[in-house]
Every structure is written in C-alpha cells, then in structure tokens.
Amino acid sequence: MASNNTLLFVVTKDFQVKAGPPPTYYLDDFNARAPVIGRLNNVSKIAINPCRELFAIRGEDLYRGPMPSNASVDWFTVAKRVGKGGWNKYKFIVFDPCGVLYAATHDGLFYKGPAPCNDTVCWLSSQAIQVGAAAWDKFDALFFDSKAILYTVSHDDKLLKRYPPTRADDNWNASSTTIGKAGWRSLTHFMGFSPEGDLWCVDPSNGNIYKGPAPATADTNYIGRAEKLGHSYNIYKLLAFTTAKPCV
C-alpha cells in the first residue's frame, strides 16, 4: 500500500498539473480527486529529484523549481532557467536516488552529471560526463529503483537491469540482466518505481495502470502478479512519482 506521503504527479495533454495519492483500487477515480496544482505550458519532459524539485524541458531550455502550488500559474513563469539551448536533444532525463542527473540523447549518447543550477554554465560540456556512446535512443523506457539500479525497456521488448554505466565504452546493454522476455513495450506510456518499491506501468493503448513487484527473472509474469488499478491513464502526457514532503 502506498504511504500517505506518496504522490502521483501528472501533466494533462492541455498542460494542467495534478497531484494526489496514487490509486489503490480499480474504480479509484484519480483524475476526479487529484487537485490541479498548476500549469506547465508546452512542457516536453519532466524529472523530479529526490528533494522534490521539479526539472522540466520546454523548447530547448531546462527549468528548475519547487513543486507547482497555484492552479492558475504557469510554473515556467516562476521557475529558474538552468539550461539555455540544446535540451530538446534529450529523449530521457532521469534522476538516480542520489540526485545525479542522467540524460540520453535522440542520437544514442548517454550522459550523467550534477543537476544544473545556472544557465550560464553548459551542463553538457562543463559538468556532465559521457557514460554511453551508442544506442541509448533505442530504449522505450529508462528509470532507476531506490538502490540506483538502472532499468530499461529494449527495442526487442525486453526489460533489462544493471547498475548504470560509468564510462562511454561500457556496453551496458550486452552486460545487463534480462528480467522480462516480452510484452514490455506495451507498458511504457509510463514506467517507474513508487517510493514503496512497487513497479508501476501504464499501457499506452488503453491507459490501464498496473502496480506490482519488479520481476526477478526473465520468466516472471509481471501482469499476472500485478494489480490493475485503473484505466485511461494515457490521457496524461507525463507522469512521475514524488512525495508530499521535500527531503531535509
């Protein structure tokens, strides 16, 4: 069961931001009960760090700020721009549990570095290090668990995991462990771990949302063990987990 501290953070297709406790049963109407807490006009990507700071890409720029708190305010008008230009090149941006930012480009490169805090410093050239040289754009999902293990869904429909790469020539894909043999690309509208350690997935075709334990082996039937806790979650452009209280 999700704790009272866990929040599901969503962005609708018209850029409203809503947040509330994740669903606990199939008819739990998250969309009806989750309040609107702001707007993220024209956002394309989001990532939330362990201290509950929101990072969001709009156009070519990256912004950083506290969680939205006013339903009528576009968050970008009060957030700080911390990356000027070039941020539309990334297919994925994601934080590990220690707050390190990982970013995969649309042409297959993979980088990690500290969270940007100033748009006068180029993150890519001055702060990030390259930890992947090819094919990182081929994944359909990329996310971490609470132990900093990296998970991906591959183009051939497998769920993979391994500790993250540390250098550009690290062949992560070849040395990762397959913990799901098939059916994973159909669960990648959203995929991520809640703070309690459950793996949540959303089917892009019908919006069904599932919660279950992460597979331990390639033969594990995730859907067979998971709870289906709602439908139509594909109405949301973006989803993420966070907590109700920032870290101290």
H-type alpha helices, 87-242: 172-175, 222-225
* Contact predicate 39/67, CB 8 Å: no
At residue 4 the predicted structure's pLDDT band, cuts being 50, 70 and 90, is confident
Task: Count CA within 13 A, CB hemisphere, residue 118.
Answer: 4
Tell me the chain's radius of gyration from C-alpha atoms.
17
Instruction: Centre a 10 Å sphere on the Cβ of residue 42 and count the other Cβ atoms it contains.
Output: 12
Reported as a single tens digit per residue, the pLDDT across 157-169 is 999 999 999 999 9
Q: What is the domain partition of the chain in residue ranges?
A: 6-243
Residue range 6-243, CATH number: 2.115.10.10
Instruction: Centre a 10 Å sphere on the Cβ of residue 134 and count the other Cβ atoms it contains.
Output: 14
Reported as a single tens digit per residue, the pLDDT across 211-243 is 999 999 998 899 999 999 999 999 999 999 999
Across the chain, mean pLDDT equals 96
Reported as a single tens digit per residue, the pLDDT across 95-140 is 999 999 999 999 999 999 999 999 999 999 999 999 999 999 999 9
pTM of the model: 0.96
| Placement of tokens 């539309």 in the chain | 88
Residue 204 has phi, psi (to 5 degrees) of -70, -20
Given CA atoms 197, 173, 186, 189 in this order, what sign does their dihedral have? Answer: positive
Residue 33 has phi, psi (to 5 degrees) of -95, -20
Reported as a single tens digit per residue, the pLDDT across 66-85 is 999 999 999 999 999 999 99
